[in-house]
């Protein structure tokens, strides 16, 4: 029984906790002019941000801006991830 709990923790819960920690660090490191993608697949450049929201410029030629919750940012595109070195 104890072995099952340990297996479940190390192969299910622990990796999820590590992934969530990386995600929080990524969201905290957002800055103006970062190129990002949202969870809905919208690509844009960070135009402004505050504690809870991020305003993305989604049209390079125009001035189309959309405001998102920070949690809607899926990834930063123009910076290498720590895994890539």
Each residue of 11-55: pLDDT tens digit? 888 889 999 999 999 999 999 999 999 999 999 999 999 999 999
Tell which residue, 43, 77, 71, 78, has the closest CA to residue 57. Answer: 43
Q: Set out the domains of the chain in order of their start, with CATH numbers.
A: 2-84 (2.30.30)
Whole-number pLDDT of residue 3: 85
Neighbours of 33 (CB within 10 A): 9
Q: Is the pLDDT of residue 83 over 80?
A: no
pTM passes above 0.85 = no
State the average pLDDT over residues 47-73. 94
Q: Is the pLDDT of residue 80 over 70?
A: no
């Amino acid at each position: 029984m104890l072995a099952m709990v340990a297996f479940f923790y190390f192969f299910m819960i622990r990796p999820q906790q590590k992934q969530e920690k990386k995600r929080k660090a990524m969201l905290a490191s957002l800055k103006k002019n970062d190129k990002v993608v949202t969870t809905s697949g919208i690509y844009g450049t960070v135009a402004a941000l505050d504690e809870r929201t991020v305003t993305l410029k989604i049209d390079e030629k125009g001035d189309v801006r959309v405001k998102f919750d920070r949690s809607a940012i899926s990834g930063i595109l123009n910076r290498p991830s720590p895994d890539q070195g």
